[in-house]
Amino acid sequence: MAEPSQGWRLPEEGGRRTASPEPPCYARAMLAFTLRRLAVAIPTLLAIATASFFLMRAAPGGPFDTEADLDPVVLENLYRAYGLDQPLLEQYWIYLANVLQGDFGPSLVYEDFNVTELIAIGLPVSARLGFTAMFVALLLGATCGIVAALRHNRLFDHATMTMAMTGIAIPSFVTAPILALFFGLYLKLLPVAGWNGGAAANMVLPVIALALPQLAIIARLMRGGMLEVLRANFVRTARAKGLPERQVVINHVLQSAAVPLVGYLGPALAGIMTGSLVIELIFDLPGVGRYFIQGALNRDYPLVMGIVIVYGTLIILLNLLSDLAYAALDPRVRRTYR
Amino acid sequence: MPAFRNALLASASLLLVSAGAADTLRRGAVAEPNSLDPQVVSGASSTIMRDLFTGLTSYDSAGRLIPGAAESWEISEDGLTYRFRLRENLKWSDGSPIAAKDFVYTLRRLLTPGNRTRFGSFFYSIRNGRRIMSGELDPTELGVRAEDERTFVIELQRPDPTLLEKLSNYAAAAMPQAVIEEHGRRWSRPGRVVTTGPYRLAEWVPQSYLKLEKNPHFYGADDIEIETVQYFPTTNAETAMRRFLAGDLEFLLTFPSDRMEWIEENLPGQLKIWPALGISYITFNNRKPPFDDVRVRRALTIAVDRQQIAERIMVVGVPVAYTMTPSVVSNYDNPVPDYARQPMPDRLAEARSLLEAAGYGPDRPLTFELRYEPPEENRRLAIALQAIWRDIGVNTELLFTDFGTLYRSVRTGDYTAARFTWFSPTDSPETFLFILESGSTTNYSGYHNAEFNRLITVAEAQLDRDARLATYRKAEAMALADYPVMPLYFMVHRNLVAPDIRGYTPNSRGMTATRYLHRVKQ
């Protein structure tokens, strides 16, 4: 099939990278935008650190209170050993100074480890789960959304969207145990829990449980975007000039329809990593989420703060990435970044 | 679908592996250890720690006290000097010899401020112990010395009838001075830590598992059948249960109590429940209204039908409690108060009239806040108490908090009533009665009775066991007549054990050391 003449394309057609080359100031504008965002990130992180430091301290109880039978002298010694006997403001300054040097301090719950070591152990697990789940959700969700939009108001559309609504409505702490019971105990196909060094079999169920709600949201977003773009003028033009429907969809619709999805993906990826703490508990996975829960319950100030700061940074970076991707996809957005 | 096929293959190989490694025992752990330093670790990880470290004394498979690193000991007539004879050829897990001076180092380190140690207060009876812990004296002033390579001597400042039991604690097992000084806080990592117990640390993946392998240099290594034991920390009890049902874990120290009936029906013989050295009780804040009035405390205490609580709320079959000291404590006849034998209608009638006498009635009902903490079964208990007390015209407001918040509020006296649990490290009444002694760390109720305090001091100095227990009994009966706290039920150990695992006798201490376990062919 011959490619029709390029001269027919309208400027607002979706701004593909292969479209007319950008003026040279584009790269510089993007760089300036990125730098500006990164500069704003520093006070944001500082505010996050400060707020979480004082909020943690405002919570009743202390790090060693769960060991109910500690002698007062023993307890006093423990507080001194960890510098918790200092005035609060002083502890805050010491903490900030240490964090700026990349030292999150010792954990108070896992006392043989530094917070940095614990995050280095847990984050790869959470990240691997999160990325895999997001990849699965994106692949299946986008496909479902596209097909549903193309079969608008037909059986496939209704079936997919009903399933998507169900997927969004059922929380993962319900699906996870059911998956474990069915595939683990009943069918005996997969392990019910455990990490086992990240073996594929151990990842299947947690990834499904994590991916399901995301998959549903992505399918709905993709379908919505598609339906909107399918009705747009440039698509009608493309059809009018005689392009086959397949080319209309692949060359013209998809890229524009994906724009709302890109905006969603950045925060969602950060969310799926933080949000996996329920999954980590139910499947006994050694991710950061479990440290976070244990840290919060046991008032492990440095551990909770460390995780909050790392997640804060992740969210800021992923948001920035998704904004940049936005700009790459949509010239209108790009213009506002100057 | 190659990913799915891989997953299937991987799970099949996983099954093969777990079937092949018959000498590995897979145990559940309630929580990740906060440390593997035996003097820093908290009580929750004691099973793991006892597999790794053995003190001067130890326990057999039925929880009876037996010699550990020491083969024998002599106690002076005044009960103040203990002379331990160490075993011949006692070795660390790296094969180097353990000497008496290592125990001197251990106890000094335990009582040195700034070492983050937890169990120091166990050994305040050792001469100068408390003053060293509070920084007044130098650790070298502690009443411990090495007389020669194999003779270790402890001098006490007051008789301590539970010393031998307490010396079985891993915190008092020999600590490797050279390793600790070389690596500091990180000495307890795999590859560095040397142990003294039946096992040594092979791997530690936080939040995943701990792998322990048999210590060939342990004095009793020849009798150990389980070559490798893995502990999997499972914070979620339901997950632990699923892993047990899937055969992934073989020994659980606890399980969700609402699964009790199902377990009894479907896993016959795998469930082990027996009384523990622990009590669940309600602590009343005696320092402020309404519980500064003994009539109110008595009314609430006698109104609760313990049998109902034990049978209908705590489904796991707990023994009912009317005293602080559990009935399972050896050689002790616990002083059960008279109301325990009265019929419930009489008790309820008396409770109502007591409240009336204290100035409460339909127009001015007694209202107070009851605090409780996880797990879920405590919620059922709190709701049951609320319903029981509503019958005598009391409004109970329930407040659910986490452990930390609860402990902080009872420790600072900032509460009205709270549900609490106490486990004793020793098979004796003393730590249960400390809960009622003025100035004791665990006296959250603020109860004060000078005569009770005096009797406790008298008992502590009595070397004759029967005389001492009789004094404790007298003291306990006296305090219970003031209803400072409300005993509810005694704790139980509840384990789930795979049918092919044998080798231990359920005991009140809950000792389930891996060194005694073995697997039988099914």
Of B208, B248, B408, the CB nearest to A65: B408
Task: For residue B114, list chain A residues with Cβ-Cβ distance below 8 A.
Answer: 77, 80-81
What is the average pLDDT across A133-153? 91
Say what the pLDDT of residue A299 is: 86
Does A77 sit within 8 Å of B40, measured CB to CB?
no
- B94-123 burial, b at 16+ Cβ within 10 Å, e below that, comes to eeeebbbbbbbbbbbbbbbbebbbbbbbbb
* pLDDT above 90 (res A165): no
pLDDT of A275 > 80? The answer is no
Residue of A66, A112, A181 with shortest CB distance to B403: A66
Q: Could you tell me the end-to-end alpha-carbon distance of chain B, in angstroms, rounded to an integer?
A: 38
**B137 near A CB under 8 A:** no
Q: Which chain B residues are within 8 Å of A189, Cβ to Cβ? A: 8, 11
As to burial, measured by CB atoms within 10 angstroms (0-12 exposed, 13-18 middle, 19+ buried), residue A295 is buried
pLDDT at A16 over 70: no
Q: Say how far apart CA B133 and CA B122 lie, in whole Å.
A: 11
Residues forming beta bridges with residue B320, ordered by sequence position: B489
- State the smallest CA–CA distance between residue A65 and chain B in angstroms: 5
Cβ neighbours of A118 in B, within 8 Å? 206
Inter-chain CB pairs, A–B, below 8 Å:
175
Find the closest chain A residue to B186 by CA distance.
Answer: A112
Sheet architecture: strand order including B151-155: B70-75, B81-86, B151-155, B144-148
Do A74 and B404 lie within an 8 Å CB cutoff? Answer: no
CB-nearest to A200 from B7, B35, B239 is: B7
- Which residues, given as ranges, of chain B have pLDDT below 50? 1-20
* Closest CA–CA distance from residue A215 to any residue of chain B (Å): 18
Residues of chain B contacting residue A285, judged by C-beta atoms under 8 Å apart: 207
Per DSSP, which regions of A157-314 are E strands?
Answer: none
Q: Which residues of B fall within a CB distance of 8 Å from A74?
A: 117-118, 120-121, 133
Q: What is the length of chain A?
A: 338
In chain B, what percentage of residues exceed pLDDT 70?
96
What does the pLDDT read at residue B206?
Answer: 86
Interface test with A, best of B35, B185, B208, B421 (most A CBs within 10 A): B208
Yes or no, beta carbons of B404 and A66 under 8 Å apart: yes
Determine contact: B58 vs chain A, CB below 8 A: no
* Mean pLDDT over each residue of chain A, to the nearest integer: 84
Angle, alpha carbons B309-B310-B312 (nearest 5°): 65
Q: How many residues would you count in chain B? A: 522
pLDDT of A82 strictly over 90? no
B133 touches chain A (CB under 8 A): yes
Cβ(B198)–Cβ(B513) below 8 Å: yes
Would you tell me the crossing angle of helices A155-169 and A115-150 to the nearest 10 degrees?
160
CB contact under 8 A, A67 and B43: yes
Distance, CA of A259 to chain centre = 17
Q: What angle do CA B14, B20, B26 make, to 5 degrees?
A: 75
Q: Give A171's pLDDT tier (boundaries 50, 70, 90).
A: confident
**3-class DSSP string for B89-156:** CCECCCCCECCHHHHHHHHHHHHCCCCCCCCHHHHCCECCHHHHHCCCCCHHHCCEEEEECCEEEEEE
Highest mean pLDDT among A150-159, A324-333, B11-20: A150-159
Res. A19: pLDDT tops 50? no
Contact criterion met (CB < 8 Å) for A112 and B7: no
**ipTM tops 0.90:** no
Calculate helix-pair angle for A115-150, A288-297, nearest 10 degrees. Answer: 120
**CB contact (8 A) between residue A185 and residue B34:** no
Contacts of A298 in chain B (CB under 8 A): 404
Q: Which of B4, B34, B189 to mutate to test the interface with A (most CBs of A within 10 A)?
A: B34
CB B393 within 8 A of CB B362: yes
Residue A177 and residue A206 in contact, taking contact as beta carbons nearer than 8 Å:
no
**Residue A329 above 80 pLDDT?**
no
Residue A7 to residue B22: CA distance in whole angstroms: 73
Q: Rounded to an integer, what distance in angstroms lies between the CA atom of residue A68 and that of residue B2?
A: 52
Yes or no: say if A278 and A293 are a contact pair by the CB < 8 Å rule. no
Looking at the complex, does the CB of residue B115 fall below 8 Å from at least one CB of chain A?
yes
The residue of chain A nearest to residue B234, with distances taken between CA atoms, is: A284
Q: Does B442 touch chain A (CB under 8 A)?
A: yes
Q: Binning pLDDT at 50, 70 and 90, where does residue A315 land? A: confident
Contact B38, B52 (CB under 8 A): yes
pLDDT of B345: 95
* Bridge pairing between strands B70-75 and B57-59: unpaired
Nearest to A71 among B40, B114, B120 (CB): B120
Q: Is B36 helix (H, G, I), strand (E, B) or coil?
A: coil
Whole-number pLDDT of residue B13: 42
Nearest to B35 among A68, A112, A284 (CB): A112
Alpha carbon distances (Å) from A263 to A207, A321, B309: 22, 9, 55
CB contact under 8 A, B407 and A284: no
% of chain B residues with pLDDT over 90: 74
pLDDT value of position A68: 61
Which residue, B487, B418, B446, B492, is CA-closest to B280?
A: B487
| CA B345 – CA B339 distance, rounded (Å) | 12
Cα-flanking dihedrals φ and ψ of residue A320, to 5°? -65, -45
CA distances from A277 to A173, A193, A200, A284, B38 (A): 10, 14, 19, 10, 30
- By the 8 A CB rule, do A144 and A203 touch? no
Question: What is the Cα–Cα distance from B123 to B110, expressed in whole angstroms?
Answer: 9
Q: How far is A144 from chain B (nearest CA, A)?
A: 18
B199 token code pair: 């096992």
Alpha helices in A59-179 (DSSP H): 72-81, 88-100, 115-150, 155-169, 172-179
Mutate to test the interface with B, among A74, A115, A301 (most CBs of B within 10 A): A74
Q: Please report the pLDDT score of residue A23 as a whole number.
A: 56
Q: Minimal Cα–Cα distance from A220 to chain B, Å?
A: 25
List CB contacts of B186: < 8 A, sequence separation 6 or more. Answer: A112, B192
The whole-angstrom separation of Cα A104 and Cα B332 is: 51
Q: What is the pLDDT of residues B207-237, one digit of tens each?
A: 889 999 999 999 999 999 999 999 999 888 8
B37/A62 CB distance under 8 A: no
The pLDDT value given to residue A274: 64
CA distance B489 to B494: 15
Burial B313-330 (b: 16+ CB within 10 A, else e): bbbbebbbbbbbbbebbe
